[in-house]
Amino acid sequence: MTPLGRLAEVHFAYEPDRPVLRGADLDIRRGVRLAVLGPNGGGKTTAFRLLAGTVAPDSGTVEVLGTPVSRSRRALLELRRRVQLVLQDPDDQLFAATVAQDVSFGPINLGLPRDEVRARVDAALTALDITDLAGRPPHLLSNGQKKRVTIAGAVAMRPDLLVLDEPTAGLDPAAVEATLATLAELHAAGTTIVLSTHDVDLAHRWADEVAVLVDGEFRAGAPDDLLVDEKLLAAARLGPAWAPAVRALLRRHGLEHLSPSVPGEALRSALPADGRS
């Protein structure tokens, strides 16, 4: 099956002697929840911008539904229907006088009828649980509220692929869970979702697949496989995910029957007295 999104042998540099992506390959399957991890400045945001058509590769191919991404006006308009990118800093995207106006910007630019625009805005505000913010100026909102507004603006476009750059960064635990619950609903409704994060445990519990970006190249696979690869994660300046690491520890001691959620005291009592792993 043709991937929804694909980077193939992609090279990209903002400066000639400082490459960000070095022959990066990444397939995004339709219907997947993909978490992208890597060090700061490693190229995650650049890969997302390539998929959204805001920058072009120096070499290699970027495709959406098997069609190379073109930056012509007509092609970009069609791409906006397919792919929506939500940046880490909501202030980079919010500009309208009210939340409702901001969310309506994309659908209006698609040339949709007024009733359709209104219906999409209402549905997006409801999905993000921010209908009460519709008439508020975005610059007066909290950071968490601003992030939900930017996601609502993307959702109003009804994309096939929703790409979010660090959507949980800077949020308190309750806001993180609310964001993940919203993404779960969007995914259940048929949206393919890609997000970047530095939270390895969040990636493990949320994603169907993960991709770790190291030295300008992706390594993709199952969370249980990649998120316990200590060498790979160290290269990405990350630690192993807690749950699969505990499972591996239990297996080494013949304690597979215990759950990774076992309380700390019970786990310690089950391990050798010297505590060695």
Q: Residue 249 pLDDT more than 80?
A: no
- Write down the pLDDT at residue 125: 95
Q: How far apart are CA 247 and CA 261, in angstroms?
A: 10
* Burial class of residue 145 (count of CB atoms within 10 Å of its CB; 0-12, 13-18, 19+): middle
* Amino acid type, 139: H
- Write down the pLDDT at residue 259: 56
Of the candidates 246, 127, 129, 262, which has an alpha carbon nearest to the alpha carbon of residue 187?
A: 127
Collapsing DSSP to helix, strand or coil, 29 comes out as: coil
pLDDT category at 160 given cuts 50, 70, 90 is very high
Q: Residue 88 pLDDT more than 60?
A: yes
Q: Residue 276 pLDDT more than 80?
A: no
- Write down the pLDDT at residue 260: 53
- Write down the pLDDT at residue 241: 82
Q: Residue 7 pLDDT more than 80?
A: yes
- Write down the pLDDT at residue 262: 46
Q: Where are the domains of the chain?
A: 5-238, 241-277
Strand partners, 21: 12
Q: What is the mean pLDDT of residues 66-85?
A: 91
Find where tokens 């209402």 sit.
122
- Write down the pLDDT at residue 265: 45
Question: Do the strands 67-68 and 59-64 form a parallel or antiparallel pair, or are they unpaired?
Answer: antiparallel
Task: List pLDDT tens digits, range 14-57.
Answer: 998 899 999 999 999 999 999 999 999 999 999 999 999 999 99
* Burial class of residue 115 (count of CB atoms within 10 Å of its CB; 0-12, 13-18, 19+): exposed
Of the candidates 149, 127, 125, 152, which has an alpha carbon nearest to the alpha carbon of residue 137?
A: 149
Give me the phi and psi of 227, to 5 degrees please: -85, 10
- Write down the pLDDT at residue 45: 96
Sheet containing 192-196: give its strands across: 83-86, 161-165, 192-196, 33-37, 209-214, 217-221
Task: List pLDDT tens digits, range 102-145.
Answer: 999 999 999 999 999 999 999 999 999 999 999 999 999 999 99
- Alpha carbon of residue 25 to chain centroid: 17
Q: How many other CB atoms are found less than 10 A from the CB of residue 113? A: 9
Q: What is the mean pLDDT of residues 51-69?
A: 95
Task: List pLDDT tens digits, range 181-205.
Answer: 999 999 999 999 999 999 999 999 9
Strand partners, 221: 210
pLDDT category at 266 given cuts 50, 70, 90 is very low
Domain 5-238 has CATH 3.40.50.300: yes
- Write down the pLDDT at residue 264: 46
Q: Which two tokens stand for residue 62?
A: 């970027």
For residues 253 and 161, which has the higher predicted lDDT (pLDDT)?
A: 161
- Write down the pLDDT at residue 261: 52
- Write down the pLDDT at residue 271: 47
- Alpha carbon of residue 122 to chain centroid: 24
Q: Residue 256 pLDDT more than 70?
A: no
Q: What is the mean pLDDT of residues 218-230?
A: 92
| Helix, strand, coil % in the chain, rounded to nearest 5 | 40, 20, 35
- Write down the pLDDT at residue 95: 94
